[in-house]
Structure 1
Amino acid sequence: MARVVCIGVGTVGCGWATVFARAGHEVVLYDADADAIAARALPRIEATLEQLGREMPTGETPADIRARIRVAGSLEEALSGAEVVQESVREDLAIKRALFDEIGAAAPDDCLLLSSTSALPGSQFLSDIPHPERALVGHPVNPPSHIPLVELCATPLTAPETVERARRFYTEAGMEPITVNKEIDGFILNRLQYTLVAEAMHLVGEGYCSAADIDRVMTSGLALRWASIGPFMTAHLNAHEGFAGFVGQLEGMMKKMGADARTDYDWGPDLVAKINDEMTRRQPVGAIPDAQSWRDRRILATRRLQSGDTAPGAKGDGTAPDRG
């Protein structure tokens, strides 16, 4: 098992620490705000391990896994003997550049360097470090302790074997990596997510529906199919002739809706405040931690459902042939 260093202990960093410790690795936590580790990170990790209960490796308890996580008092201490680094600090280019300058200089030369950045191209802060061929983006979905997707995106200087090493590392830790073949702002998940949200802002802003209605369209409509098979497989199964047949029937509508969608809708603070007020009435901000715990339990239940039914074309392992 590897020594994995998690730098930055927000929700993403804590999620990663849980993932790696459950996989059997020794995990070292470091954050420039030392007080945040004791006050927020360790309690969050312990609560997550308790919630994951039945998902634990055979014969292990939350306490067994927690014992593999320790705290370093300095970055140099954290990086001593490190085999993998997962960085999850704030989305600020200057901060990431400065941090990876330190990491690149202090980490062992063969240490795998991974960034959780959700928006910044890795080449902007991973290229000017010692041995840039060992560094790439490993972008998760928040919280990675519950959601297995991770997007691997190399920089132009990343070695192909580094990408494969990262893929093996994440896969063996229970994650499901995809490859982003070339750099693009936001990678794949956020481009899809924010495009949909932009059109949702347009629909609410122009009075077509409420924010609650948008959420219901997803949870009672699109998400019921997409949780298992994704949009392309949904289309493929919605026509007797498969995806080509679906497009053949609906191409005109698809292109018209795509052209009509207002992903460039100029929403402003008034619309943000209106939606925030509606969301707050439904879910008070002070109770968000409890709601996050409820959300995470629902995510786990969905994942169990995803893996529990054998779909047509599957190999009997309880997973669909391709979830899209």
Structure 2
Amino acid sequence: MTGRRVACIGAGTVGSAWAVVFARAGYEVAVWDSVPETLSEFALPRVAQIARTLAEEMSTGEDAETVIARIRAATSLADAVDGVEAVQESVREELSVKRAVFDEIGEAAPPDALLMSSTSALPGSQFLTEVPNPERALVAHPVNPPSHIPLVELCGTGVTEEATFERARQLFLSARMEPVVLRKEIEGFLLNRLQYTMVNEAMHLVGEGYCTAEDIDRVLTSGLALRWASIGPFMTAHLNAREGFRGFVDQLGPMMKTMGREARTDYDWGPDLAESVHESVARILPVDSIPEAQAWRDGRILATRRMQAADHMPGRKKADPD
């Protein structure tokens, strides 16, 4: 035990995964949820399952039972945040709910504790600026499940201090996460703006009859994802031209701009198209098979991470921290 404590508020899929992240980093973790049954019937069993899987697939040298022993169910929100150095909130994605929860967190948590939200899209300035000492509050948006995917996006509220960003960075680095810092607040942050933009254009392509939903998924898994699992879109372009990114843009920049103008990221898809896509993917994977498929997906994520860690791109230099 390090004697350092973190609270996870909201014990659903994201909150329970966060608990394992912090426990694997040596923190004592208190988990609380407004529905007590969520803790006993979902969160604690899931914590144990995740910890045991990670001990086998991504070992830190500790056995799973040691990690599990660091996590406890709190009896109240005040009990959860008592004496902690950081709070990670993962409650329902609803502004009024988050405001109410942070009102309570702000009153009960130590005055210098980091206050962080897992919100997927809501700007932190809408619910984090009224807490006591708001300069210590920020968004720390993970990718679900954070126990398996290391990215976390740090976004301030306009009053968040630079020292808060650095404290959060160090916290997540100690937990083997990979934080990125947004320089300005924007709805959806980075990952979801990229993800939802692509999905909206995919809906356009399917909705206008260019292809099927299965075709879109195949374009990603058998095409883009094979490169993007190791390098991002800018580095992909850099490697696709002998002259690097500059050469890529010189050759294909006009085409990129044309397709950008023609893309329908604002495509007005409706419930009929959404239902058609659902039926298409559900024929391949029935809804009652989703839990089993999620476990398979998580295993593939860990296998990809092991592949990523196995070697490094020849000639690649470490990026500047700023």
> Equivalences for 1:140-179 in 2 at 5 Å?
140-179=142-181
Matched AA of 1:56: S
Give the conservation status (yes or no) of the 8 Å contact 1:22–1:56: no
Give the conservation status (yes or no) of the 8 Å contact 1:311–1:321: no
- Residue 135 of structure 1 aligns with which residue? 137
- Residue 251 of structure 1 aligns with which residue? 253
Give the conservation status (yes or no) of the 8 Å contact 2:57–2:302: no
3-state SS of 1:220 partner: helix
User: Pick from 54, 57, 62: which aligns with 2:60?
Assistant: 57
> Equivalences for 1:31-42 in 2 at 5 Å?
31-42=33-44
Task: Write out per-residue CA displacement over residues 104-125 of structure 1, whole angstroms, 9 at most, x where no aligned residue.
Answer: 1111111111100111110111
> Equivalences for 1:39-118 in 2 at 5 Å?
39-52=41-54, 53-58=56-61, 60-118=62-120
Report the number of matched residues. Answer: 317
Q: Does 1:21 align with 2:29?
A: no
TM (norm. structure 2) is 0.96
Q: CA deviation at 1:55?
A: 1.4
For residues 206 and 63 of structure 2, what CA distance do their matches in structure 1 show? 46
For residues 262 and 33 of structure 1, what CA distance do their matches in structure 2 show? 41
User: Pick from 261, 266, 272: which aligns with 1:264?
Assistant: 266
Q: CA deviation at 1:312?
A: 1.3
User: Pick from 219, 231, 234: which aligns with 1:232?
Assistant: 234
For residues 32 and 18 of structure 2, what CA distance do their matches in structure 1 show? 13
> Equivalences for 1:3-22 in 2 at 5 Å?
3-22=5-24
Task: Write out per-residue CA displacement over residues 121-168 of structure 1, whole angstroms, 9 at most, x where no aligned residue.
Answer: 101111011100111000000000010000000111111101100000
3-state SS of 2:11 partner: coil
Matched AA of 1:57: T
TM (norm. structure 1) is 0.96
Matched AA of 2:82: S
Q: CA deviation at 1:56?
A: 2.4
- Residue 183 of structure 1 aligns with which residue? 185
For residues 193 and 246 of structure 1, what CA distance do their matches in structure 2 show? 23
For residues 12 and 286 of structure 2, what CA distance do their matches in structure 1 show? 21
Give the conservation status (yes or no) of the 8 Å contact 2:143–2:151: yes
Matched AA of 1:80: D
Task: Write out per-residue CA displacement over residues 62-114 of structure 1, whole angstroms, 9 at most, x where no aligned residue.
Answer: 11100000011111111111111000001110011111111111111111111
For residues 153 and 247 of structure 1, what CA distance do their matches in structure 2 show? 30
Matched AA of 1:204: V
Matched AA of 1:300: L
Structure 1, gaps ≥5 residues long: none
Q: CA deviation at 1:211?
A: 0.5
For residues 41 and 97 of structure 1, what CA distance do their matches in structure 2 show? 23
Change (3 A) 1:310 1:176: same
Q: CA deviation at 1:17?
A: 0.5
Give the conservation status (yes or no) of the 8 Å contact 1:88–1:116: yes
Over 3 Å off, 4+ runs: none
Q: Does 1:212 align with 2:210?
A: no
Q: CA deviation at 1:321?
A: 6.5
Q: Does 1:291 align with 2:266?
A: no
